[in-house]
Structure 1
Amino acid sequence: MANTLAATTSAGATNTLRGVAFMVAAMIIFAAQDGLSKALADNHSAIFVTMWRYWAFGGVCLVLLWRKGFRAGLTSGQPRLQMLRGVLLALEICVAIAAFALLGLAPSHAIFAFMPLLVVALSGPVLGEKVGWRRWSAVGVGLIGMMLIIRPGTRALTPELGVAILGMFMFAAYQLMTRRVARTDAAMTSFYYTGVFGAVTMTLIGPWFWSSMSGLEMAMLAVLCVTGMSGHFLLIKAFEAAEASAIQPFSYLQTVMASAIGVVIFGEVMSAWTVLGGAIIIGAGLFAFWRERVRAKASGHPTVGT
């Protein structure tokens, strides 16, 4: 029995390490994508850039569905919510890319870092999940960090800040919907709906923002499309290999790396208030993730992400 237990523990540790490796790779890709998106959005509409990303994403989903069967792949316990998820994520990406171009990568990601804490705060009233006082405390501390970044009363709430805050709220809503559909649907079902209905949405609005691109910009767009597929695939593999509570904290690597890209490549300057506020938010978020892991182990029901 001791040997069996040791083997099980070793396998679990191996799977967790594999999940962490997949998660780190996905975050590196997503940070690079943010840099490419900003570079393209400096000369083109965020909607136009997002449209091309979704045409590639949706095309891959259609090929996979053709091989699997459209009825089997799109069978869902909550199809309307799945469709709404797909539409919302496409629009959120448009808003996020616009924030990168208007506000910058580093300041935008400092604000986006509050999103997981917003999900924690809303998971109780929206999803009926129990949120203890420790995680509520983390949300409160994170809100202090957000206030340090925005500094209401010391400066006007600019449209650029408003765009980033809107994107953060939209992505939080998307995450809540994703957790909701995960109760009935497999991860790949959500993947298909995200790609197909996001592509439909961008096809309806993207051509109105068409603009010509240089050869270099077309190459950058091609890399953006390919890496988008790779990043989502790695993310799915990460959640298949390990519990969400074990690998989710590594999602903050995207914030750190994208901010570094903004500072080093695009010459962005982060104020001391933004750095301090972002650090407080990330610290509070990591604590919230840790508490969720502790709670999941105590209840004997590990958290599994999609």
Structure 2
Amino acid sequence: MGKPISGSAADNSDVSFGLTLMAIAVLIAPLIDIFSKLAIATIPSGQITAIRFTLQVLFILPVVALRGALFDLTWKKTALHALRGVLLVATMLSFITTLKVMEVADAIAIFFVEPIILTILGSIFLKETIGWRRYTACGVGFFGAMLVVQPSMQEVGLIALLPIVSAFTLAVFLLVTRLVAQSEDPWSMQFHAGIWGALFSAALLYFGEGTGSDVFDPVVPDALSLVYVLGVGVAATISGVLGVYAYRAAPASVLAPLQYLEIVSATLFGWLVFNDLPDALKWLGISIIITSGLYIIWREHRLNKTAGTAPVSPAI
């Protein structure tokens, strides 16, 4: 008869399991952007966003129904879910639109200022204490982002700033999520955010139809484009589900540094699919962003605060 597993051993096993799930989640996450970049060649970004949220709702509906959390809503929660849906639509629209002209790795690298923005917003709106060290790290991180943005702006223009817009809206989304997450089932949260995201996206497409906009005027996609959009939904669902269970198994402060693996897999996928690689200046900027972000996470962990965020892409 074997020895009983100690509580410490069980905890370590859970943390290891969570780390494994998170590593897989963030390595898969760039596939959302790869498929989006392939789809946006023929489908407007607004339509990709609408289909992606519709797939999210369809994929999660059976799980939420089985958990009995489908109608667990109050008017206050509904308003917050609607706000989260608007923020997610803004996040996806701005990021996917960027992918039409930017390399995936570059866009994701700029987008990784999101933890830095979240730190600053947390100090302003949640009154979290942020010392000079983390403020300095935030400034250094933004400098690194500018090293990536500056050559990208020369290549594609002001659209290179859209990943920063996307990072900002996601940071606000995460602040709102903190308010909702204290009292609601995570699957229900994702389901209702998906519903509102799909509704707002559909409304934008309704008013954009016939305008000729390459963002909001819907088209009839061909079979290959539908496969790409389906890939967006499947990759987002898998990555998101893995992320949910990873955060249940291990503390956020332990998992947060793994999010930067996404830049590695994004660079690899971008090279394999589009033959794109960042130049030396962009690599320098990416390195600075990663270093500053990891420092902020480490510092918050030291101060026993909640550190890190879910995977970069709002996958589910």
Q: Cα offset for 1:270?
A: 2.1
Structure 1 unaligned segments of length 5 or more: list them.
Answer: none
Instruction: Report Cα offsets for 1:96-128 as digits up to 9, x if no partner.
Output: 111111222121112111111111122111112
Identify which of 211, 221, 226 aligns with 2:219: 211
Counterparts of residues 5-16 of structure 1 (less than 5 Å): 7-16=6-15
- Contact kept? 1:76, 1:189, Cα under 8 Å: no
Percent of counterpart pairs with the same letter?
26
Q: Cα offset for 1:216?
A: 2.3
CA distance in 2, matches of 1:45, 1:157: 18
Match of 1:168 in 2: 167
Counterparts of residues 172-183 of structure 1 (less than 5 Å): 172-183=171-182
- Contact kept? 1:145, 1:276, Cα under 8 Å: yes
Instruction: Report Cα offsets for 1:174-213 as digits up to 9, x if no partner.
Output: 1222223233434233212211111211222235332222
Identify which of 280, 283, 286 aligns with 2:294: 286
Higher mean C-alpha displacement, 55-64 vs 40-49: 55-64
Alignment TM-score, normalising by the size of structure 1 = 0.87
Match of 2:70 in 1: 70
Higher mean C-alpha displacement, 112-121 vs 203-212: 203-212
Match of 1:20 in 2: 19
Higher mean C-alpha displacement, 76-85 vs 22-31: 76-85
Count of residue correspondences? 297
Match of 2:157 in 1: 158
Q: Cα offset for 1:269?
A: 4.3
Match of 1:260 in 2: 268
Cα pair distance change 1:29/1:159, threshold 3 Å: same
CA distance in 1, matches of 2:28, 2:180: 26
Q: Tell whether 2:249 aligns with 1:241.
A: yes
CA distance in 2, matches of 1:10, 1:196: 40
Q: Cα offset for 1:41?
A: 0.8
Which residue type is aligned with residue 243 of structure 2? L
Instruction: Report Cα offsets for 1:130-157 as digits up to 9, x if no partner.
Output: 22233222212212212322349x9699
CA distance in 2, matches of 1:182, 1:140: 29
Structure 2 unaligned segments of length 5 or more: list them.
Answer: 210-216, 311-316
Q: Cα offset for 1:215?
A: 2.2
Alignment TM-score, normalising by the size of structure 2 = 0.84
Match of 1:224 in 2: 232
Match of 2:194 in 1: 195
Q: CA RMSD in A?
A: 2.6
Match of 1:84 in 2: 83
CA distance in 1, matches of 2:308, 2:160: 33
CA distance in 2, matches of 1:63, 1:87: 24
Which residue type is aligned with residue 176 of structure 2? M
Cα pair distance change 1:157/1:131, threshold 3 Å: farther
CA distance in 2, matches of 1:223, 1:238: 22
